Every structure is written in C-alpha cells, then in structure tokens.
Amino acid sequence: MLCRPNLNVAGLTAGYDGEGMKTVLPSRAQAKIDVRLVADQDPDKVFELLSRHVEGRAPAGVEVDLARGAAMAPQRMPADDPVVEPVVRAVREGWNENPILKPSLGGSVPAYVFADTLDIPCLVVPYANADENNHAPNENIALSCFRAGARTTVVCANNLRYSRTTSLLRTHLADQGELLDII
C-alpha cells in the first residue's frame, strides 16, 4: 500500500443525523477526502484529474464543488543514497536487529520540509510499536520502543556527524547560501 496511490475517505456527512427518525432525502452531501501520492505524481495534475473524474460523473442537477486543501509533492529516497548507510547502522545498533528498508513511508510534513524546502535527503525511521494506533485517540508507544528509538537517535546523530553525508549536506546548504549549523 505504501508504494501505491491511495484515495482515503476521511469522513462523510449528509442528511438528518439527530434524535429520532426522519424520512428525508438530503439536499446536500459532503465528503472529506485526501489522496496519498507516490513518487513521480504531481499534486496539481492529480487534483485536476480527480476533479474532472468527479465532475464528469455527477448526475444532472447535482452540483459538485471540490475544494483543494494543502498539497505537497511525494518523496522517495534511493536506497543507495549516502545518508542511508549511517542510519541503517544506527537502527541496527539501537534495536539490535536489522532494519527493513521500504522505498516509501507515510508522513508528509517532516519529509516535505527537508526534501522540498531545504532540498536535503530525508529518511523516516519509525520507532513505535506495530499496534500504536497512529493518530487515533488511544495512540501509544511502548517504553521499549521509546528507549530503542532514543538509542537509535543518539547513534544516528553520531554516525551522521562523522560521515561523508554531513560534509555533503553542509556543502549543499552552503551552495544555497543557507549554511545551517545543524549537526
């Protein structure tokens, strides 16, 4: 699922939803959707295609109004990027097991800031347990995962500090006139 586009219906509203029964046909219906893009998809083009698709299938007399929210380009980092190896070593040391590398992973805002705004490589290393209920009311993280994540972060920062990747990053930022002493 992470490597394929996804259209998610986050919520639907229509008709009467109060106490008791009502036999009414709603005059208005609304859907809140989001689209997970994958590498090489353009948010503007996807919105245009989705709009055309929905509007082209609306029955006569039905007005369609699609409002576009925030959009960001999908990210994907090659597994052979120089930043991957020091992070893999850190995960191995922090968790005492080999990581599973996936070409895509959810999480838009952190990746977007690094990849699009700063134009630097971005990896996502999830630390939570499989049953963590991400973004749900009962979201949680097991203490063992929290501790392993903290160990991984420390080792990762140290590995990147002494890696060729850090000098590449500094050079890249300096070339943009935005030298940031982040490491």
How many other β-carbons are positioned within 10 Å of the β-carbon of residue 129?
14
Same domain, 130 and 170: yes
For residues 100 and 124, give the distance between their C-alpha atoms in angstroms, rounded to a whole number.
Answer: 12
Distance CA 105, CA 181 (A): 28
Give the pLDDT band of residue 179 (cuts 50, 70, 90): very low
* For range 70-89, the mean pLDDT: 84
Domain membership flag for residue 182: no
Final residue before a domain boundary, out of 29, 53, 74: 74
Q: Could you tell me the residue range of the domain that residue 2 belongs to?
A: 1-74
Number of domains the chain is built from? 2
Q: Assess if residue 130 is contained within a domain.
A: yes
Q: Are 171 and 183 in contact (CB under 8 A)?
A: no
Q: What is the pLDDT of residue 181?
A: 47
The answer to whether 89 and 53 are in contact (CB under 8 A) is no
pLDDT at 22: 84
Cα separation of 147 and 7, whole Å?
Answer: 35
Is 44 part of any domain? Answer: yes
The answer to whether the pTM exceeds 0.85 is no
* Residue 65, domain CATH: 3.30.70.360
